[in-house]
């Protein structure tokens, strides 16, 4: 028996432990063919001061990832606890066929996640959630496939604080994208 196994109570797995990591909840803005979109990401982090670089992790089959690679730009909207309803809407994949087990009638629906959402478009076409805390816009400078995700490094080119509030995190939502 490994020494670390003695420390784990029975029934716990590495997945259970990974679920204890806490993450911020962010709306990643993208645009494709003039159509803006948001997706939720929590694997987001700063990786450099000079230049300011941000890393975001995307599922390899992500619609947003493909949209971002078309234009090499994205933004990160920092959500507040007041943005929880919007965040729930952005969790939905753009293409409903991505979710296995959906009925035939719901299998090929393209979802407009911005319907009913108050947002502003940047000159770049990227959406900014009107009541988010802040946003930053990034140019993609590198990508790397890492297992079932693609890591995208963005160089921060601008941003703005829109509201002062507490950021939304996995602690408030109880959402786990880990394991």
* Residue 17 counted as domain residue: no
Which among 47, 39, 112 is positioned nearest to 77, based on CA atoms?
39
Quick check: 91 pLDDT over 50? yes
* Residue 120 counted as domain residue: yes
Lowest mean pLDDT among 56-65, 109-118, 128-137: 109-118
3-state secondary structure of 142: strand
* Residue 41 counted as domain residue: yes
The average pLDDT across 6-22 equals 78
For the segment 124-173, what is each residue's pLDDT rounded down to a tens digit? 999 999 999 999 999 999 999 999 999 999 999 999 999 999 999 998 88
Strands across the sheet containing 149-161: 35-41, 26-32, 73-78, 134-146, 149-161, 53-59, 44-48
pLDDT at 103: 53
Confidence of residue 2 (pLDDT cuts 50, 70, 90): very low
Q: Is the CB of residue 29 less than 8 Å from the CB of residue 75?
A: yes
- The enclosing domain of 136 has a CATH number of 2.30.110.10
* Residue 70 counted as domain residue: yes
What global pTM score does this model have? 0.86
Average pLDDT, the chain: 88
- Between the CA of residue 29 and those of 1, 9, 168, what are the distances in Å? 47, 41, 17
* Residue 93 counted as domain residue: yes
pLDDT at 10: 63
* Residue 175 counted as domain residue: no
For the segment 41-59, what is each residue's pLDDT rounded down to a tens digit? 999 999 999 999 999 999 9
Q: Which domain holds residue 109?
A: 22-170
* Residue 178 counted as domain residue: no
Quick check: 73 pLDDT over 50? yes
* Residue 15 counted as domain residue: no
pLDDT at 92: 78
Strand partners, 127: 121
Number of domains into which the chain is organized: 1
């Amino acid at each position: 028996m490994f020494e670390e196994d003695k420390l784990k109570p029975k029934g716990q797995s590495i997945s259970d432990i990974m679920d204890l990591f806490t993450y911020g909840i962010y709306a990643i803005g993208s645009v494709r063919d003039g159509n803006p979109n948001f997706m939720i990401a929590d694997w987001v982090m700063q990786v450099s001061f000079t230049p300011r670089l941000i890393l975001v992790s995307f599922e390899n089959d992500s619609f947003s990832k493909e949209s971002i690679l078309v234009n090499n730009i994205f933004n990160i909207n920092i959500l507040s606890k007041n943005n929880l309803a919007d965040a729930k809407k952005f969790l939905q994949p753009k293409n409903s066929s991505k979710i296995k087990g959906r009925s035939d009638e719901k299998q090929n629906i393209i979802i407009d996640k911005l319907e009913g959402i108050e947002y502003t478009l940047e000159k770049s076409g990227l959406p900014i959630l009107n009541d988010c805390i802040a946003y930053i816009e990034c140019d993609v400078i590198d990508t790397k496939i890492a297992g079932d995700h693609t890591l995208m490094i963005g160089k921060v080119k601008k941003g703005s604080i829109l509201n002062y509030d507490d950021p939304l995190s996995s602690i408030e939502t109880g959402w786990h994208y880990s394991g």
